[in-house]
Amino acid sequence: MDAVWECQAVPQPSEPAGTGSATTAGAAHRLAPGAARQHTVRDHNLGLVLGKVVDAPTPVSRADIAAATGLTRSTVSSLVEVLVAADLVAEVGPERRAGGGAGRPGIGLVASRRRVAGLGLELNVDYVAACVLDLAGEVRHRTVVPRDLRGTSPARAVAGLARMAVSAVDAAEAEGLTVAGAAVALPGLVHAPDGMLRLAPNLGWRDVDVLGLLSREPSLEAMAVRGALVVDNEANLAALGELDDARGRAEVEGSRYTFLYVSGEIGVGAGIVIDGSIFRGGHGWGGEIGHLPVDPDGPPCRCGSRGCLEQYAGREAVLRAAELSSLPELVEAATDGRERVLGALTDAGRALGIAVASVVNVVDVSTVVLGGLYAELAEWLVPAVEAEIGGRVLAQAWAPVTIRVCSLGGDAAILGAAGSVVRSVVQQPAYLLRA
């Protein structure tokens, strides 16, 4: 049950520059001093109502929203009117309410697919990708282009992604959609505040100003200026994709999803989600599972260290061990039961399991979601992964680890990226309405 509060700032007689940390009131209130108050409460409630509509698996009525938020019916009606007028919410029905309980059938409310969309972008070691997601979570546009960027300069590679982004925005606008913003998935250490890709070991890139390079396209620069163009680690965004997907499957109650998402491509990364939020550590550079040592004296890694997981379970390492050159070949040979290939996959699974068990022992999660390459190879990897987890996870007897396979394939990161934009619109629709 949501509570509704009216809060009012009490002007202080003197407010010298102090050093104390604020604990008297929630941060949300501190953002709304003095005269802005009325406005901010309404903005907040607009987001609350839109969220109830967007997150519901079936159409909801105004009465449902009033019950779920604790807002009065007249307040809900007035907010819904604004959202319908802005074409963020659409009316359907009348339909019978879920459960067929008491109360006459009402007009149903759903997320409108006509007004606004989020753009997800990905620049990875050997492909670039984009997708546009509308407010109902439907994919309206998707492009994935294989392109090995290991010999390409960062400026050239990012320029290619920028052109793909502009095409995606054009495609969305042709359908009448406004692209509210974009999130960019990158394969390495990302410093979000200044839009820099600090390190991408498999590309050999350091300190690349991705946000600056993207902003050479005027339409992306406009997004960047209003703070609507952000960069993040690809595994983090893929983890958000998995989170959205689990919400859509109604497998997660609200924010109660804690898991480790492991993204296997040429590089191997992870996103750690605790109670529905990405755990970012001190600088946002956590989750680097690909560089945990499987054998500290093992083969050299592109990161400069030795024996990292990527050298055992990254795509190229697995293909090399299987003496094959592509993923489809690998899947076919494994399906045919070729011994060398099955052995290579067991070894990769064992390495993956050792690293996953380490992460589980450090961050204490009980669900591991395999994504990217690992989703396609799950059938052959999982037994070895489970064996290592069973032997190495200290809490296994009390919190047994479940392994799941991500169903989003290679699209997890672009879906998570686009979804993060859509979610920010849902949380603050007022920004869009005033633009």
Among residue numbers 379 through 398, which ones bind a second copy (CB under 8 A)?
A: 391-392, 394-395, 397-398
291 binds a second copy (CB under 8 A): yes
Q: Which of 371, 366, 360 is nearest to 402 (CA)?
A: 366
Smallest distance from a second copy to CB 396, Å: 9
Judged by CB, which is closer to a second copy: 73, or 226?
73
Pick out residues in 4-43 that bind a second copy (CB under 8 A).
4-10, 12-30, 33
Residue with smaller CB distance to a second copy, 11 or 146: 11
31: nearest Cα among 421, 430, 432, 433 = 430
Q: Which of 233, 301, 284 is CA-nearest to residue 262? A: 233
Q: 114 or 280: whose CB is closer to a second copy?
A: 280
Contact between 198 and 207 under an 8 Å Cβ cutoff? The reply is yes
Measured distance CA(35)–CA(32) in Å, rounded = 8
Q: Tell me which residues in 226-255 interact with a second copy (CB under 8 A).
A: 253-255
Judged by CB, which is closer to a second copy: 52, or 115?
A: 52
- What is the C-alpha separation between 290 and 270, in angstroms, rounded? 8
Q: Distances from the Cα of 289 to the Cαs of 54, 82, 345, in angstroms?
A: 34, 46, 18
Q: Do residues 234 and 184 make contact, with C-beta atoms less than 8 angstroms apart?
A: no
Please check whether residue 429 is in contact with residue 52, taking contact to mean a CB–CB distance below 8 angstroms. Answer: no
d(CA 139, CA 136): 9
Q: Which two tokens stand for residue 56?
A: 């519901």
Q: Which stretch binds a second copy (CB under 8 A): 44-52, 104-112, 149-157, 377-385?
A: 44-52
- Residue 292 interacting with a second copy (CB under 8 A): yes
Residues 58-77 that bind a second copy (CB under 8 A): 67-70, 72
Interface with a second copy, residue 282, by CB under 8 A: yes
Rg (CA), the chain: 24
Q: What are phi and psi of 143, to 5 degrees?
A: -135, 130
Q: How far is the CB of 179 from a second copy (least distance, A)?
A: 26
- Window 336-375: residues binding a second copy (CB under 8 A): 354, 357-359, 361-366
- 95 near a second copy, judged by CB under 8 A: no
- Choosing from 137, 264, 286, 416, the residue that interacts with a second copy (CB under 8 A) is 286
Tell me the number of residues near a second copy by CB under 8 A: 90
Reading phi first (left if > 0) and then psi (alpha if -120 to 50, else beta), residue 125 is in alpha
| Amino acid at the residue 327 | L
Please list every residue from 117 through 146 that binds a second copy, using CB under 8 A. Answer: none
212 makes contact with a second copy (CB under 8 A): no
Residues 191-210 contacting a second copy, CB under 8 A: 191, 198-199, 201, 206
Contact flag: residue 84 with a second copy (CB under 8 A): no
Among 82, 139, 159, 189, binds a second copy (CB under 8 A): 189
